[in-house]
Structure 1
Amino acid sequence: MFQGASSLNLDAKGRMTIPARHRDALLLQCEGRITLTKHPDGCLLLFPRPVWEMRREEIAKWPISARAWQRIFLGNASDVDFDGAGRILIAPELRTAAGLTRDVMMMGMGGHFEIWDAARLAESESDAIAAGMPDVLNDFSF
């Protein structure tokens, strides 16, 4: 399970170094083979390839009424591998879709990661806090 936030930078070619703690886990889990895709919240999703392959099968079975959502998730999916320096190359189309600039955040979300433009994530979190906790979390406490 992946958790925690990492503040990272994209280089001029659109490459991002995966933090060592996550890189090691991903190398063990999937030999560094991952899949990126677009998310409608304005970020990218990063899945270990075996996890993505299960999700892909589920998404492919959605009814025709969900075709637009299949395009969002499947049509934008990109398989990538770590390079020798532990970096991944994020395709220009995906960088544009998520508004990724130089400063990015990688968020562990259990079985996958979210990759956000740092400013966009801060705005999204601020909006969520301003909106208050959703009713589904009324019984949740620490």
Structure 2
Amino acid sequence: MLFQGVSSLSLDAKGRLSVPTRHRDVITGQFEGRLTITRNPDGCLMVFPRPEWEKYREKVLQLPESAKWWKRILVGSAIDVEMDATGRVLVASELREAAKLTKEALLLGMGSYFELWDKASYEEGEAAAMAGGMPDALKDFTF
């Protein structure tokens, strides 16, 4: 299981989004439609299949006491959700507010999880990254 690619989505008036078809079958088949959504320090939300969330959560909980606020933010904000029969999930209002999600959103596959971004916020971040030039970590990387 490896999630990748970007999908443009629309949140409905109740804060629900439809999981793209290309990911829906895997999430339903391998993970029984069970997901966990939490905050990301970069300003988006992270959407994990439940088993992947459990691995991530254990790593976060093992962080030192100096990171207790990040434990609170990441684990304390996590909400378990299940896809409905039509492949939609409800994004809690607290999480939508934290990520400044509006109607237009982007879902990015990031390997074992997804990032859910407000479209305008993502485009601003991407433009800033491109304007800043390539980071040193990528300078020896062959594309």
Q: Could you tell me the TM-score, scaled by structure 2's length?
A: 0.97
Q: Deviations over 1:69-100 (max 9, x none)?
A: 10111011010000111100000000000010
Distance between the aligned counterparts of 2:137 and 2:90, measured in 1? 37
| 2:106 paired with 1:105 | yes
Q: Report the equivalent of 1:121.
A: 122
Distance between the aligned counterparts of 2:15 and 2:42, measured in 1? 21
Distance between the aligned counterparts of 1:80 and 1:17, measured in 2? 13
Identity of aligned pairs, percent? 55
One-letter code aligned to 1:97: A
Distance between the aligned counterparts of 2:61 and 2:30, measured in 1? 24
| 2:97 paired with 1:96 | yes
Distance between the aligned counterparts of 1:100 and 1:116, measured in 2? 7
C-alpha displacement of 1:141: 2.0
Distance between the aligned counterparts of 2:13 and 2:29, measured in 1? 29
One-letter code aligned to 1:49: R
- In the alignment of these two chains, the number of paired residues is 142
For 1:61-100, list aligned pairs within 5 A.
61-100=62-101
One-letter code aligned to 1:100: L
Distance between the aligned counterparts of 2:40 and 2:87, measured in 1? 24
Q: Where does the alignment leave 5 or more consecutive residues of structure 1 unmatched?
A: none
Q: Where does the alignment leave 5 or more consecutive residues of structure 2 unmatched?
A: none
C-alpha displacement of 1:62: 1.2
Distance between the aligned counterparts of 2:70 and 2:131, measured in 1? 28
Q: Report the equivalent of 1:58.
A: 59
Distance between the aligned counterparts of 2:82 and 2:76, measured in 1? 19
Q: Which stretches of structure 1, 4 residues or longer, exceed 3 Å deviation after superposition? A: none
For 1:1-12, list aligned pairs within 5 A.
1-12=2-13
Q: Could you tell me the TM-score, scaled by structure 1's length?
A: 0.98
